[in-house]
């Protein structure tokens, strides 16, 4: 089967031959990325969008909804019912990420050796069961155990979903799809409070169960149902996805090979781990992810912060919704713009500048309206950066699928280490300003910008090296 690239010098237009069918792409940008032009490729991407993105978004929605149940449960008296004292609630929040960190790299290493559809839906079924069992906990110790196990069972999903997107979407497409994926997280954050408010109002005390126990139970049962559906909908590798035709499989595979700088043949799982760990760029991306998610530590405490505005329980939960809805829109817009212009650094810089403004305003005033505006500002400006960063990892460290899978998992794993310590930046005693958390988030955000510009400098240097070695090279690292 022909699966190669031919270039027309006169028009800087490429053709890809797939199963004797010539697929035409648009002109190349300065990094060698091309716009979709051929109807076959456009139809393929639309089909991928309809099959892959809705189920991934729904899975992530439930992933984060199950994780957020403890946050909203605190508003309903979870801490009081379990007799939590001091930092015990903070420990219940942070212990999840210990388990979460342990499972990510091994899971993504397995993604190249098992059917991704079975692997990811199987782990979703596991976290659904653990989340449901949270409704039975009676003490601090049992909650800690359940949260730790929930972290282990949830660990494979997000890095696995990122890797799945990177297998099917090009550099110019991936950030937008990762933004849509992350919208599941954002929408869960937006509607978790509304869902919780309805459950608490309608079921608190029913069958002798507190409202927060009903929340764990109902969300867990829904997750079980979606996990069963995911077995049949999720794709495997491009060449092994049953709902693609033979031509579509070949095209899906060929266009990613064409778009990847320094693409090489498949290697072993352990070689992928070694290559990712020995590439200094993986560690810079991981540091960027770490600092970004540390600045994002507010997401586990936003309902508590909104509560300090002085409204009742129901209004507090409702007010957590608008910042995340606005953030969902801005994250998709910023990520789309980054992909459209194939640009990373300035998109990250401007987003973080807006977020820092929100953090500073949030601790500089006690005015209710100004403080809520600050929350809207730093929430809405934060989330697009995550998608750009992870898409940047996939396109820069994607020489083999094995290396890309590990690099994505490493960046996300090291980034989530921040979720172990950031809960301790939000003690109740710091209310209502939470000056320590706001100042730290501003500092972390500045660190993200520095990392982005360091990476820009390094990739520009690497591109010069590629050009010097091969004067006719057209595929370069994007920054």
477 within some domain: no
Among residues 268, 236, 107, the alpha carbon closest in space to that of 168 is found at: 236
Tell me what the mean pLDDT of segment 326-344 comes to.
89
Lowest mean pLDDT among 145-154, 187-196, 362-371: 187-196
Tell me what the mean pLDDT of segment 88-117 comes to.
85
CA–CA distance from 208 to each of 61, 76, 205, 215, 245 (Å)? 28, 15, 5, 14, 53
**Average pLDDT value over all residues in the chain:** 85
Distance CA 234, CA 53 (A): 9
The domain that contains 47 carries what CATH number?
Answer: 1.20.1250.20
Structural domain harbouring 38: 5-469
The predicted pLDDT at position 23 comes to 62
Edge-to-edge order in the sheet of strand 13-18 = 5-8, 13-18, 21-28, 34-36
Q: How many domains does the chain have?
A: 1
342: left (phi over 0), alpha (psi -120 to 50) or beta: left
DSSP 214-233: HHHHHHHHHHHHHHHHHHHH
The predicted pLDDT at position 450 comes to 96
Work out the number of other CB atoms within 10 angstroms of the CB of residue 176.
Answer: 24
* 316/446: higher pLDDT: 446
474 within some domain: no
The predicted pLDDT at position 234 comes to 94
Per residue in 183-233, pLDDT tens? 888 888 778 888 888 898 888 888 888 888 999 999 999 999 999 999 999
475 within some domain: no
Distance CA 336, CA 209 (A): 45
Q: Which distant-in-sequence residues (6+ apart) come within 8 Å of 429 by Cβ?
A: none
Chain position carrying tokens 């595979």: 253
DSSP code of 423?
G
Q: Where are the alpha helices (DSSP H) in 397-434?
A: 401-416, 418-421
169 within some domain: yes
The predicted pLDDT at position 277 comes to 92
479 within some domain: no
Tell me what the mean pLDDT of segment 419-444 comes to.
86
Angle of CA points 196, 201, 205, to nearest 5°: 105
Distance CA 75, CA 197 (A): 10
84: left (phi over 0), alpha (psi -120 to 50) or beta: beta
149 within some domain: yes
120 within some domain: yes
Most confident of 18-32, 72-86, 434-448: 434-448
Tell me what the mean pLDDT of segment 454-461 comes to.
93
Among residues 266, 236, 264, 268, the alpha carbon closest in space to that of 249 is found at: 236
Sign of CA dihedral 112, 114, 118, 119: negative
476 within some domain: no
The predicted pLDDT at position 291 comes to 95
CA 195 to chain centre: 22
pTM, full prediction: 0.77
Q: Residue 21 pairs with which residues in a beta bridge?
A: 18
The predicted pLDDT at position 439 comes to 93
């Amino acid at each position: 089967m022909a699966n190669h690239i031919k270039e027309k010098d006169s028009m800087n237009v490429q053709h890809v031959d797939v199963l004797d069918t010539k697929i035409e792409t648009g002109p190349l940008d300065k990094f060698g990325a091309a716009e979709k032009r051929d109807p076959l490729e456009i139809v393929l991407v639309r089909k991928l969008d309809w099959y892959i993105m809705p189920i991934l978004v729904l899975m992530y929605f439930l992933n984060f909804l199950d994780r957020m149940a403890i946050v909203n449960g605190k508003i309903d008296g979870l801490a009081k019912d379990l007799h939590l004292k001091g930092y015990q609630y903070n420990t219940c929040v942070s212990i999840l990420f210990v388990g979460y960190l342990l499972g990510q790299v091994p899971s993504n290493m397995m993604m190249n050796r098992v059917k991704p559809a079975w692997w990811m839906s199987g782990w979703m079924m596991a976290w659904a069961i653990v989340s449901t069992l949270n409704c039975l906990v009676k003490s601090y110790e049992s909650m800690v155990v359940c949260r730790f196990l929930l972290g282990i069972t949830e660990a494979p999903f997000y890095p696995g979903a990122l890797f799945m997107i990177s297998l099917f979407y090009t550099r110019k497409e991936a950030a937008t799809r990762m933004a849509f994926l992350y919208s599941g997280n954002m929408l869960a954050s937006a509607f978790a409070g509304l869902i919780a408010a309805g459950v608490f109002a309608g079921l608190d005390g029913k069958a002798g169960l507190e409202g927060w126990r009903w929340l764990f139970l109902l969300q867990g049962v829904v997750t079980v149902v979606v996990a069963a559906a995911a077995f049949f909908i999720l794709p495997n590798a491009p060449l092994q996805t049953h709902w693609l035709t033979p031509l579509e499989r070949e095209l899906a595979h060929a266009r990613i090979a064409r778009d990847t700088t320094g693409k090489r043949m498949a290697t072993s799982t352990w070689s992928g781990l070694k290559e990712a760990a020995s590439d200094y760029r993986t560690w810079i991306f991981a540091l960027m992810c770490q600092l970004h998610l540390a600045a994002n530590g507010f997401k586990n405490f936003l309902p508590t912060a909104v509560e300090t505005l002085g409204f009742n329980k129901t209004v507090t939960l409702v007010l957590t919704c608008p910042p995340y809805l606005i953030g969902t829109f801005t994250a998709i817009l910023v990520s789309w713009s980054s992909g459209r212009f194939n640009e990373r650094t300035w998109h990250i810089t401007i987003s973080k500048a807006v977020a820092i403004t929100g953090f500073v305003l949030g601790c500089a005033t006690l005015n209710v309206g100004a403080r809520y505006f600050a929350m809207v500002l730093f929430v809405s400006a934060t989330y697009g950066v995550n998608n750009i960063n992870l898409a940047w990892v996939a396109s820069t460290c994607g020489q083999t699928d094995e290396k890309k899978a590990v690099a994505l998992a490493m960046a996300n794993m090291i980034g989530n280490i921040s979720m172990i310590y950031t809960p301790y930046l939000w003690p109740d005693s710091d209310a209502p300003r939470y000056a320590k958390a706001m100042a730290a988030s501003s500092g972390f955000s500045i660190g993200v910008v520095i990392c982005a510009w360091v990476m820009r400098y390094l990739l520009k240097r690497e591109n010069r090296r590629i050009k010097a070695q091969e004067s006719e090279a057209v595929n370069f690292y994007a920054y």
